[in-house]
Amino acid sequence: MLEILVLLIYLAAMFAIGFYFKGKIQNTEDYYLSSRSLPLPVVTLTFAASFIGAALTMGQAGLAYNEGLMAVTLNITAILALFIFSFLSPRIREVGAKYNVSSIPDLFYKRFGKTTSLVAAVLVLWTLVAVVGSQMVASSTILELICKPWGVSYEVAVFISVIIVVVYTMMSGLYGVAYTDVVQGLLLILFIGIMLPILCLNSAGGLGNLRATLPANYFSFKPNMMIIGFMFVDLLYFLSAPPYWQRALAAKSSGIAKKGITRAAVIILFYALMVSLIGMSAAVIFPNIPAGYSSEEALIPLMVRATFHPLVSALVISAIMAVLMSTIDSYLINAAQTVITDIYAVVKKDVTDEEQLRMAKWVVVILGFGAAIFALYFRQILTAIYFAFTFFASALSIPTLATLLWRKATKAGVLSGIFTGFVSSIVWSNVLGNPFDLHQAIPAGILCGIVTVGVSLYTYNPETAAPYFEVDLRNSGEHAS
């Protein structure tokens, strides 16, 4: 009962923030990009909170339970990608401000036109909705555990999760999402990143007992083929993930975008290490998963419920919900933008800003329930998330970077790269069966890059080339505090 009470207080606070910022929404730029006004602390925490989702919490703990510190290797390329992205973010922000670019598909539209933009938008939308669904897998698992005494099934928990997050996202757009992320980010750092690892290590007998009890391979950093595949997906995906571009575009200045993302990357690395310690501690405390818990991905609620005071359990479970909500709302608002601005408004010309804003709020509702259907079919969190990431990493990441950074990129090169990455990913996994246990994103991403560059060089003509985004980055470090 205490868990439900604390969770209700947390949810009431999220709704209050959403209601407060509802009055700031006057147009689509307010709704999607917070009027390009987010300050440094908000950029830092909204970026960290949107990154730290089910995979980096429940999935990471479950992987560390089985593999030990090797789970941290899963985060190496993601963190590397974020640091690289921090250097790209000033250009993203300045291109957005100068050319009125509001999203990745809009970037393609402003440079290469309608066809390329719509192809990109479809792939972006698929990724965003699938990620929302994967986060709902985790949030529904938590709600099912909390409400089990009242006979709440996983399926019912899925739809409760949808209703909760849809309401405050629909009300206030990125303003509400970003500022609720500040609260959620602080909760997850304090309770899951600091408090819980200390309590779990203490219950497991300290680091010395972990070393004495767990097998030697738990302290090895040699990744297996599965983790190498996930690492490659992370490297490509997090260089061009739509919600992180949205935050760079929404920052108050290019300097704030760069500094905020760098600080967020440090928070994320610390969090990954701490969650891995939770999973390893669980391997000592619970060498076998108790009955009633479907997988090791439910370890964190299991640990707190079975080992600690009910108040600690209530705080940690609320923090887990904060983790999940902060990612769901980020991807949901981005998905609504993709449907309305990047697909509907491109296909149907002369759509007013007022009409787009009104429709976007209802699209949030529709997409939320669409993601719930995804959650009913995928129960394993890491599987669901990397399923969502794979096609984006294989087909869209390199063409996106080429569009932003490379003067000689052409429409033919970008479209050929997208098509090659998408098709080769399907063929490698579904037709060839992943030869050599090599994740499909590796060959598909490499082929996508080769084709994008090769076709662009072959078709580039300086006299008829698509316009390049010219921006001045000499003062990109200004106003970063």
What's the pLDDT band for 379 if we cut at 50, 70, 90?
low
Averaged pLDDT for residues 176-189:
81
Q: Domain range spanning residue 376?
A: 2-382
Flag the least confident range among 117-131, 136-150, 348-362, 437-451: 136-150
> What is the structure's pLDDT at 327?
76
Q: Which of 230, 264, 209 is nearest to 63 (CA)?
A: 230
CATH of the domain at 149: 1.20.1730.10
Q: Is the dihedral of CA 116, 120, 125, 126 positive or negative?
A: positive
> What is the structure's pLDDT at 172?
63
What's the pLDDT band for 144 if we cut at 50, 70, 90?
confident
The beta strand positions in 42-111, using DSSP E, are none
Amino acid at 365: V
* Tokens 């429709």 found at: 359
Residue 435 is assigned to a structural domain of this protein? no
Split into its structural domains, the chain has a count of 1
Output 451 or 471, whichever has higher pLDDT.
451
Q: What percent of the chain has pLDDT over 70?
A: 92
Structural tokens at position 167? 């309401």
Q: Which of 130, 125, 136, 128 is nearest to 53 (CA)?
A: 136
Averaged pLDDT for residues 280-307:
75
Q: Which of 440, 337, 422, 328 is nearest to 375 (CA)?
A: 328
Exposed (0-12), middle (13-18) or buried (19+): which is 212, by Cβ within 10 Å?
exposed
Give one word for 437, left, alpha or beta, with left for phi > 0 and alpha for psi -120 to 50: left
Q: Nearest 5°: phi and psi at 348? A: -105, 100
Which element (helix H / strand E) includes 150?
A: none
Output 240 or 132, whichever has higher pLDDT.
240
Return the CA Rg of the chain. Answer: 22
pLDDT at 481 over 50: no
The beta strand positions in 140-211, using DSSP E, are none
Residue 340 is assigned to a structural domain of this protein? yes
Residue 456 is assigned to a structural domain of this protein? no
> What is the structure's pLDDT at 127?
87
Residue 322 is assigned to a structural domain of this protein? yes
Q: Nearest 5°: phi and psi at 253? A: -155, 165
| Cα 448 to chain centroid, rounded | 22
> What is the structure's pLDDT at 67?
87
7-24 per-position pLDDT tens digit: 778 778 877 877 777 777
Residue 418 is assigned to a structural domain of this protein? no
Residue 43 is assigned to a structural domain of this protein? yes
User: How much is the pTM?
Assistant: 0.86
Residue 133 is assigned to a structural domain of this protein? yes
Mean pLDDT (the chain, rounded) = 85
Q: Using CA atoms, how far apart are residues 59 and 299, in angstroms rounded to an integer?
A: 9
Averaged pLDDT for residues 227-244:
88
Residue 168 is assigned to a structural domain of this protein? yes
Averaged pLDDT for residues 329-346:
88
What's the pLDDT band for 54 if we cut at 50, 70, 90?
confident
Q: Nearest 5°: phi and psi at 452? A: -60, -50
Q: Nearest 5°: phi and psi at 52? A: -80, 95
Averaged pLDDT for residues 183-198:
87
Q: Using CA atoms, how far apart are residues 116 and 111, in angstroms rounded to an integer?
A: 9
Q: Using CA atoms, how far apart are residues 173 and 328, in angstroms rounded to an integer?
A: 13
